[in-house]
């Protein structure tokens, strides 16, 4: 009888740990592979537009674009921002793209500046339909300039 209780308790603890791990994974924003964006930029002609909405296969409504040394945890009003890795605060070789749906961070991508650098300022907040960039090949690496004609998108 005692062995059964120990076995039952062990299974219960194992189930609780597995459930917590699954909940944690489901609640954590997923990292995107930067290879697709890198491929789009490397094959783009000078002046070509790149729409991040077109290159993503998931639903999102806002893009937070952070430059080196920015802290994603400093962004207010977006849930799960504390679950985005913040090592960009110490790096100067990457931009951080955070995709948000209904004020909730759902995906992120650390994009190396060597493959295309998003122009200043250090933080931009863009609606999905304004996350369109022009490829500027007058510099190396290429710069990605905001192409939307309306709002500036600066935070």
> Which residue's structure tokens are 């991040």?
52
Q: Distance (Å, rounded) from C-alpha 99 to C-alpha 128?
A: 9
Write out the residue range of the structural domain in which residue 22 sits.
Answer: 1-29
Q: What one-character DSSP code corresponds to residue 30?
A: E
pLDDT confidence of residue 106: 96
Residue 127 domain-assigned? yes
Whether residues 40 and 110 fall in one domain: yes
Backbone angles phi, psi at 140, to 5 degrees: -125, 120
Whether residues 12 and 55 fall in one domain: no
pLDDT confidence of residue 18: 56
pLDDT confidence of residue 6: 65
Residue 152 domain-assigned? no
pLDDT confidence of residue 21: 45
| Positions of the chain with pLDDT under 50 | 20-25, 151-155
Count up the domains in the chain and report the number: 2
3-state helix, strand, coil in the chain (%, to 5): 35, 30, 35
Whether residues 120 and 88 fall in one domain: yes
Whether residues 12 and 58 fall in one domain: no
pLDDT confidence of residue 144: 84
- The reported pTM is 0.75
Q: Distance (Å, rounded) from C-alpha 155 to C-alpha 153?
A: 6
pLDDT confidence of residue 108: 94
Q: How many CB atoms lie within 10 A of CB 130?
A: 21
Q: Distance (Å, rounded) from C-alpha 72 to C-alpha 133?
A: 22
Q: What one-character DSSP code corresponds to residue 27?
A: T
pLDDT confidence of residue 113: 86
pLDDT confidence of residue 13: 55
Nearest partner of 59 among 147, 108, 124, 128, judged by Cα: 128
Whether residues 85 and 14 fall in one domain: no
pLDDT confidence of residue 32: 85
Whether residues 46 and 84 fall in one domain: yes
């Amino acid at each position: 009888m005692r062995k059964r209780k120990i076995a039952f308790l062990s299974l219960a603890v194992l189930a609780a740990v597995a459930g917590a791990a699954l909940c944690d994974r489901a609640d954590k924003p997923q990292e995107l592979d930067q290879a697709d964006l890198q491929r789009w930029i490397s094959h783009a002609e000078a002046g070509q537009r790149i729409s991040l909405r077109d290159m993503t296969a998931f639903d999102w409504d806002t893009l937070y674009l952070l430059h080196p040394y920015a802290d994603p945890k400093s962004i207010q009003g977006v849930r799960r921002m504390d679950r985005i890795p913040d090592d960009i605060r110490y790096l100067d070789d990457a931009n951080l793209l955070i995709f948000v749906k209904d004020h909730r961070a759902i995906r992120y991508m650390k994009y190396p500046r060597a493959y295309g650098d998003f122009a200043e300022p250090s933080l931009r907040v863009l609606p999905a339909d304004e996350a369109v960039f022009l490829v500027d090949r007058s510099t190396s690496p290429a710069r990605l300039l905001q192409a939307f004609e309306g709002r500036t998108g600066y935070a």
